[in-house]
A and B are shown apart, each in its own frame.
Chain A
Amino acid sequence: MSSAWSPELLVMLRPAAEYRQLVELSNGGRWWKRALRFSFLFGSVVSLAASGRLTLRLVAAGTLYASLIPLVEIAVLATVLGRSRKVSLARAADLFLMGHGAWCCWLLGFAGIWAFLAPIPAFEWTRAIWRWGVVAAVAAWSAYVDYCFFRCVAPSGPGWRLVVQRVACWTPAALIFGGGSLWPEILKVLGR
C-alpha cells in the first residue's frame, strides 16, 4: 500500500510489521542512494555543528568521511547474512539502511541544538549525562529495529546475527574515531 511517509520513519515506528511487508516487495534495492543520503545527513550535521550553517567544504568532507559507515555496515552485513537471506544482497542492504531512522532523528536533534543555540547553552544541552542517556535509548531502539530486520531477512538466529553485526561494525568505528585514547580511557573507567 502506498504511503506518504518515508520508509525510514515507518520502519522506525513499527519495525516488525514494516519489515514483514517490505521483504515481500523483492524489487527496489537502490542501496547506494540510501547510503549516500545517510552520509549526506551526517556531513550536514558536521557542518551545522562546526559552523552553524551548511557550507560546501564541510558538507563534502563530512559526507566523504561518513560514507565509511554504510560501506563498512554493508560489508559486514554481507558476511553476517551469508547465503541464508530471503532477498538479494542489494535489497538486504537497502532494507538494513532503512533502519537508521532513530540515529537520523538523533543526529538531526543534535545538529539543531548546535545550529540554533549559542555555544555554551549547546554544550550544556549536550553534556555527558543527557547525551549518553539519549544515545543509550536510541541504540537500544535501533538494536530492536535491526533485530526485526534480521528476523525477516534471515529468520534463523537473528539474535546472534545482530550481536556479530554490532561487534564487527562498532569495534572498528570506535578504533577509527577515538582509537588514540581508547585504552587509557578504559583503564580510567576500570579505576587502574
Chain B
Amino acid sequence: MTAAGWTSGVLLALALATGTISDVPRANPPAMRNGYRVLAVDFHVHGFPSSWATLAPWDLVLEARRQGLDAIVIAGHNNVWAGKLGRWFSRLAGGPTVLAGEEIVSPRYHMIAAGIDQGVEWNQPAASAIAEVHRQGGIAIAAHPTAAFWPAWDAAAVRMLDGTEVLQPISYLPGRASYELQEFYERARVAPIGDSDYHGLGPMGLCRTRVLARDNSENAILEAVRAGRTSAERGPAPDRSATAAVSRACALLGLSIALIWKPKRPPEEV
C-alpha cells in the first residue's frame, strides 16, 4: 500500500470511530403542559426507496430517536408501505411512535395523509383525497402549500383539512415561501404544522411540531392535531461537538486522499 493509502485508511478509521462514539440520542425527557404530554413530532419524513430519499424506514426510526423526536410520520411518495415498515420496525426496536402515512404527490397539490393503512390515489381532486384519508381514520395536512399549489386548494378542500405546514426548511430560504405558507394558514385556520420534509439531508426535525397529546400513541397524536393542539417550531441546533467535527474533517480528508492519490500499486506496476 502507498503512503496515501495508509493515510486515507487511518483517517477514515478515525472518522468512523469518533463519529460512531458521538452518535448518541439527544436527551428527551417527558414534559407536561396543561395536563397533556408535550411531544416533538415530524409529520413529513421520506424513506428509501421510491421517495427521493437516502435512508431506509428502519434508519429513519434510529435517526428520529437520535434527534429526540417522540413521533414521526413516514410518508412515502404515493405509497404507504414504507410507513408501515417503519412502524413495524419501531415497535420491534422500542423506538419513537411511527405513524404510517403517504405524501399524496399530485401534479397540482401535495398532501400528507397520516395515520392511514391503505394507499390513497393521487389522480383525484384534493377534497376527495381528504375524504378518503378521513374514511380511513387519518388526518390530512397540506404539504408546503406555496402559491403554485393554491389553485388546487378550493374552498371545499381547505374546509376539510386538519393541518397545514406553516414552517418548513423552505421558510428560511430567500423568496416568498415563508409568507405564502403563512397566508395559506390564515385562510385555512387549521392546526399549524412544522416539518422538515426529510429526504436524508440535514437533521431530521429541523422544523418540527410541538403536539399536546394525552399520550404518545398514534391515536392521541391524531386527535391532538384534529383539536388544533399544535405549534410549529424550529428544532434544536445541530450537534457541533468536537468529536463530530473531528469525524467529518477526517472523513472528508480521507475520502479526498483516496480519490486523488493512488492507494495501492496496481499489479501491472509491481
- Residues in chain A within 8 A of chain B (CB atoms): 2-9, 25, 27-28, 37, 41, 44, 46-59, 61-62, 65, 101, 104-105, 108, 111-112, 114-116, 118-120, 122-124, 126-127, 176-181, 184-185, 187-188, 192
Structural contact, B49 and A119, CB atoms closer than 8 A: no
Among B56, B206, B252, B263, chain A packs the most CB atoms within 10 A around the CB of B252
Q: What's the Cα separation between A173 and B216 when bound, in Å? A: 37
Judge if B78 is at the interface, Cβ distance under 8 Å. Answer: yes
Q: How far is the CA of A123 from the CA of B196 in the complex (A)?
A: 12
Q: Determine whether the beta carbon of A101 is less than 8 Å from that of B259.
A: yes
A-B contact count (CB 8 A): 183
Q: Are A192 and B107 in contact (CB under 8 A)?
A: yes
Give the distance to chain B from A124, nearest Cβ to Cβ, in Å: 6
B23–A181 contact, CB under 8 A? Answer: no
Q: Does B30 contact A (CB under 8 A)?
A: no
Residue contact B105 to A180, C-beta cutoff 8 Å: yes
**Chain B interface size, under 10 / 10 to 19 / 20 to 34 / 35 or more:** 35 or more
Say yes or no: A37-B252 contact (C-beta < 8 A), given A50-B200, A61-B59.
no
A55 to B169, CA, bound (A): 24
User: Quick check: B251 and A53 within 8 Å, CB to CB?
Assistant: yes
Which residues of A have CB within 8 Å of B267? Answer: 27-28
Chosen A-B contacts, 21 in total, with CB atoms closer than 8 Å, are: A2-B269, A6-B259, A44-B255, A49-B201, A52-B239, A53-B243, A54-B15, A55-B19, A101-B259, A111-B255, A115-B248, A177-B50, A180-B50, A180-B77, A180-B105, A181-B77, A181-B103, A184-B105, A184-B107, A184-B122, A188-B108
B28 contacts partner chain A, Cβ-Cβ < 8 Å: no
Please name all residues of chain B whose beta carbon is closer than 8 Å to the beta carbon of A53 when the two chains form the complex. 15, 18-19, 22-23, 243-244, 247-248, 251
Question: Min CB distance, B19 to chain A, in Å?
Answer: 4
Chain A residue numbers with a CB within 8 Å of B63 are 50-51
Q: How far is the CA of A66 from the CA of B255 in the complex (A)?
A: 16
- In angstroms, how far is the closest chain A Cβ from the Cβ of B150? 15
Query: Does residue B36 face the partner (Cβ distance < 8 Å to A)?
Result: no
- Cβ A6 vs Cβ B260 within 8 A: yes
Roughly how many angstroms separate A118 CA and B238 CA in the complex, as a whole number?
Answer: 8
- Give residues of chain B (147-190) contacting chain A, Cβ–Cβ below 8 Å: 169, 172-174
Knowing A101-B259, A119-B202, A178-B51, say if A4 contacts B4 (CB, 8 Å): yes
- Give every chain A residue within 8 A of B255 (Cβ-Cβ): 41, 44, 108, 111
What are the nearest 10 A-B pairs in CB distance?
Answer: A180-B77, A53-B19, A181-B77, A119-B202, A53-B247, A188-B107, A181-B105, A54-B19, A55-B23, A115-B248
Which residues of A are found within 8 Å of B48, using beta-carbon distances?
65, 177
